[in-house]
Amino acid sequence: MENKKILLVVAHPDDETVCAGTLIKQIEKGAEVTEIILTGAEEGGTDAEVRREEMLKASKFLGMKEVIFMEQPDLGLNYSKDLMLRVVGEIRRIKPDWVILMYKNDFHPDHRAAFQIGMEAVKWAASGVRPEIGQHHRTGMITMMGGMWPTRPDLLVDVTDV
């Protein structure tokens, strides 16, 4: 599965570690990866600015093209129309072939909210809603990655070599 542009929509800096091996394999094949991080994870015991710097170093290590911080409250992430439309604008700007979302039934409430925000944004980005935030874009593939709750995957990527 080769995709030119991949977009992750996650709740916290470090959530991408769940699919980091898959991202590395795709980047090695020439994919451009962008990550939208909705919160700073400041409730995790580390200052949000420290987490931000760590994330920028990790994204450079992984070879990501761009990291977008939305700076919403940690452990208080909720769906809102305004936030969802901000993500719509990014989807329309990036025009991803593949969007990776958090698992919709994850144990962590921020992960569930990130899924809802991302899924709604993908749907609305493909519509004619709010043309002033970009030309509509239909994403070809949407997947969810595991998280804090055991899942039964439908797709496994062998990342042993990375």
* Beta-carbon count within 10 A of 81 CB: 9
**Residue from 8, 28, 12 nearest 144 by CA:** 8
Per-residue burial over 110-147, b if 16 or more Cβ lie within 10 Å, else e, is bbbbbbbbbbbbbebbeeeeeeebbebeebeebebbeb
**Residue from 94, 16, 19, 88 nearest 54 by CA:** 16
Q: What is the largest CA-CA distance in the chain?
A: 44
Average of per-residue pLDDT across 101-116: 93
Give the chain's mean pLDDT: 90
Residue 77 reports pLDDT greater than 90:
yes
Q: How confident is the model at residue 66 (pLDDT cuts 50, 70, 90)?
A: very high
